[in-house]
Chains A and B, each alone.
Chain A
Amino acid sequence: MRIERRLTTPRWLALAVPVASLVAAFAASSVVLLAAGKDPIAIYLRLFDRAFFASGALTSTFVTATPLLLTGLAAAAAFRMRLWNIGGEGQLYLGAVGASGVGLVLRDQSGIVIIAGMILGGLFSGAAWAVIPGLLRAYFNTNEIITTLMLNYVASLLLSYLIFDSQSFWRELSTFSARAFPQGKVLPDAAMWPSFNIGIAIVPFGLVVGIAVAALWWLFYGSTSFGFKARVLGDSPSAARYAGIQTRRVVVAMMALSGALAGLGGASEIGDFRHVLDPRGLQQAGLGYAGIVVAALARYNPYAVVVVAVLLGGLANAGYSLQGPDFPAGLVGVLQGMILFFALGGELLLRYRVTFGARRAAPPRALSIAAGPAGVSGP
């Protein structure tokens, strides 16, 4: 058996590998289930039923998928540029802080104004938080993995401080119990984001926004001259510089875009679901980190991010609602781990070709335009 680098990746394979990875993950997890004396088929049927088909299941799945979609898009936007923004978590917190702040300030305005303000507040505060590591990367060449990760802790502490350790604008101080047990101010009813009943399920506004953002981003990336600059820079920084592209500007802008999307995720958490700045809830959810997994599984493609977010959202939702004595509690975690493992392993098949029977008489099929041996024959 030998492993060779692929010159090109066939189109069908780019779809077949993720699907096969999913199947393999379920197969491998069933070994675990069998060892635990459970019937994997029955368990999987229940899981899928609860994720997508049972009454109300799809609605819950969409609710879980909404933040995953937005943080997944945030991570994919940066990763495509080879900017390793691990800071989606912190940018999401800041987005939540910004959106709830704007929502509280505009409390007497009409719903449309409040909601638009919240979206902008989320976008801007997330972007501002991501611009810090972006500037450091562009001008001082610091490693953005480290800076974005560290800023997550800063953001997390800031979030706790606003509600638990200060008498900030966000904190509810009007009642005695709220002073004893710190909590955030609840947003006015007009700040609740709308949802849409499409018959089979109710779709939160954030999910609609996320899908629109995915399409817009793809259009921006493929069809604007700024997107072109980003594509060149993501592929070859030295070619970008050679072409006269102001690479620092592009790096900062793309970090800001990534942060803005994560911040939008934070705004949606407040507007769609929580209606109050809730540090503990946000910190426990780990939505920013989950977005990294979503982006990786989607291979940084925004449309694939939509699909993966709904799929993983469904699994998480089903696992949550099925938890109990007759359902293995850790199963969803195992499944998610297996899916990630197999999907990343499947990447190998996209980049390399595995052939069996080493001593073939015929030479491997070569592209007539393939790079000459100069590229591969050097020691």
Chain B
Amino acid sequence: MRSITKRFPGVLANDSVDFEASEGEVHALLGENGAGKSTLASILTGLYRPDEGEIAIYGRKVEFHSPRDAMAAGVSMVHQHFRLAASLTVSDNIVLGDNRAGWLRTSPKTIESQVDELATRYRMPVHPRARIWQLSVGEQQRVEILKALYRGARVLILDEPTALLTPQEAEDLFETLRRMTAEGRTIVFVSHKLEELMAVSDRVTVLRAGRLIGTVNTTETSPPQLAKMMVGREIVFAQFKDGHAPAGSEVVLELRNVSADGDLGIQAVSDVSLRLLAGEIVGVAGVSGNGQRQLAEVISGTRPRTAGDILVSGRSLRSGDPGQAIARGVAHVPEDRLGTGVSPSLSIADNLILKSHRRAPISTRGILRHDRITANAKDLMTRFAISAPGAETPTRLLSGGNVQKVVLARELSSAPKVIVAANPTRGLDVGATEGVRSLLIKAASDGVGILLISEDLDEILSLADRIAVMYEGRIVGILARAAADVQHLGLMMAGSSP
């Protein structure tokens, strides 16, 4: 790919980026969120067309008008969010949309044996007649990869492939990738996790703010060097909390055998019991989709519970009453910060009073006090370093980091007893991540109990005093941080007891 440029309204996503991968290598594409990795990958697979620049595959110049063109040239992509038909079988999904076969359907037996053959060759055990909804996330990913291989992909792009996998599943994936490159296939591995890039890749290309920073051989580089290339400055990784709550703290939040249903009416949280002390950070680790989001919503009252009890400072909360939870001092930093955490079209000032609008001093006898709203906004914007043209700016125009600061400013300024933070740094750049984490640590040292739900194990390991692991809606175990290591947590995330 030569001098690829792609613009979106208000954003230059790729600015004359050169990218080259050789036959038989794993080439990592590294960059922060918004650095242009996904855009570049989407151009390579024909989802977007570049505004400028050209693409050549095996030396032949190509122009992709759709993903089908790219597939015909041997380029396939495995997206972060799988594109599989859940009610069909594995082999149905693999041949779906592949019309080389012509009018007649190839006999299922032939396909199944072909799929089986591929699966054995690359050590990706998966049953061809299983239906997608029956499979685990790791198995679904195998189906996606098999689909690409079945169509003869020579260049395979994986977009953040380990985001939803346990450490063990990720290791299996790396083994598969090695087998594929040994046959001369090329892997483009899009990620922002340094450790796994070091483990799996041959070369690394780093993007920052849409520009190419450089390509290096993995053996000749180190995580700190890559991090510096990615962020553009030295960063301090370690941001540790001291590892224990102050002695004799009161229990601020207690869950007793709490259960709740998910959106589809299937039980998502099962019999969860947990105690959180003042000044303590308890991390909730787990692979995405194991009930963490629903757990956060049950505590904040936005989702009713079906069984059990939730106590804040010893007093029971009504089920499904967010207003009462707020009044009792439960702050919530929701996962979906722009859709739920703020009202996107309302101003920053309005969003900062989202929860306090009904109380003095913000309103008296139902009338809003605009002078106090403005003063409140000015104060919080300074204290939390929210950068925006003004307090009247619609919140949706802010960057992810600043939106999160608006949420945190509002939640922390409400003098909470408990903060439930769900993936508070997801999608934020390194600087904003540092900021959010230090705010959480500061809140804990002020005596707030924090339940930190995160899919980022490193985050949990550096912030949490104790770590609870969730699997299929249950807490499989709670460990003190000193007793936890990645391997062990990984096994627990896959469902095995401690």
Q: Which residues of A contact B (CB under 8 A)?
A: 4-8, 222-229, 231-232, 235-236, 238-246, 353, 358-359, 363-367, 369-374, 376-379
Q: By the criterion CB–CB under 8 Å, are B11 and A225 in contact?
A: no
Q: Are A7 and B389 in contact (CB under 8 A)?
A: no
Q: Are B387 and A369 in contact (CB under 8 A)?
A: yes
Kindly name the residue among B11, B323, B344, B366 whose own CB sees the greatest number of chain A CB atoms within 10 A.
B11
Residues on B with beta carbons closer than 8 Å to the beta carbon of A245: 323
Q: Which residues of B contact A374 (CB under 8 A)?
A: 33-34, 400, 427
B210 contacts across to A, CB distance below 8 A: 373
Taking CB atoms and an 8 Å cut-off, the chain B residues in 436-450 that contact chain A are none
Q: Which residue of chain B lies nearest to A232 when distances are taken between CB atoms in the complex? A: B343
Please judge, given known A-B contacts A7-B397, A244-B326, A369-B389, whether A239 and B8 are in contact too, CB under 8 Å: no
Q: Is B370 an interface residue (CB 8 A)?
A: yes
Number of A-B contacts (CB under 8 A): 154
Q: In the complex, what's the smallest C-beta–C-beta distance from B14 to chain A, in angstroms?
A: 9
CA distance A132 to B57 in the complex (A): 63
Smallest beta-carbon distance A349→chain B, Å:
15
B368 in complex: contacting residue of A228, A366, A367, CB < 8 Å: A228
Q: Are A373 and B13 in contact (CB under 8 A)?
A: yes
Give the CA-CA distance A226 to B327 in the complex, in Å. Answer: 18
Given the contacts A243-B322, A373-B13, A373-B36, A363 and B7 also touching, CB distance less than 8 Å: yes
Q: Which residues of A contact B427 (CB under 8 A)?
A: 374
A5, A6, A240, A378: most-surrounded residue (chain B CB, <10 A): A378
Interface residues on B, range: 35 or more
> Which listed residue (A4, A225, A232, A242) contacts B9, Cβ 8 A?
A4
B51 interface residue, CB < 8 Å from A?
A: yes
In the complex, the answer to whether B341 meets A242 with C-beta atoms within 8 Å is yes
Which of B38, B47, B368, B402 is A225 in contact with, Cβ under 8 Å? B368
> In the complex, A378→B399 CA distance in Å?
16
Question: Interface residues, chain B, CB within 8 Å of chain A?
Answer: 7-13, 33-34, 36, 38-39, 42, 47-48, 51-52, 79, 210, 300-302, 321-327, 332, 334, 336, 339-346, 350, 353-355, 357-358, 362-363, 366-368, 370, 387-389, 393-394, 396-400, 402, 427, 429
CB distance from B436 to the nearest CB of A (A): 15
Q: How far is the CA of A361 from the CA of B8 in the complex (A)?
A: 14
B13 to A238, Cβ gap below 8 A?
no
The answer to whether B34 and A236 touch across the interface, beta carbons within 8 angstroms, is no
Q: Please judge, given known A-B contacts A225-B368, A235-B344, A242-B341, whether A377 and B39 are in contact too, CB under 8 Å.
A: yes
Are A231 and B346 in touch, CB under 8 angstroms?
yes
Instruction: Flag if B366 contacts A225 (CB, 8 Å).
Output: yes
Min distance, Cβ B269 to any Cβ of chain A, angstroms: 18
Cβ B363 vs Cβ A225 within 8 A = yes
Using CB atoms, name the residue of chain B closest to A246: B323
Most B-side CB within 10 Å, residue of A227, A353, A372: A372
CB <8 Å contact, B332 and A242: yes
**Measured between alpha carbons, how far is A378 from B324 in the docked complex, in Å?**
37
Please give, as numbers and ranges, the residues of chain A lying within 8 Å of B38 by CB-CB distance: 377-379
Known: A225-B358, A232-B343. A373 touches B39 (CB 8 A): yes
Whether B33 lies near A225 (C-beta < 8 A) is no
In contact, A223 and B343 (Cβ under 8 angstroms): no
Name 17 A/B residue pairs within 8 A (Cβ), A-sorted: A231-B350, A232-B343, A236-B344, A242-B322, A243-B355, A244-B327, A363-B12, A364-B9, A365-B10, A369-B388, A372-B33, A373-B36, A373-B210, A374-B34, A376-B8, A377-B42, A378-B38
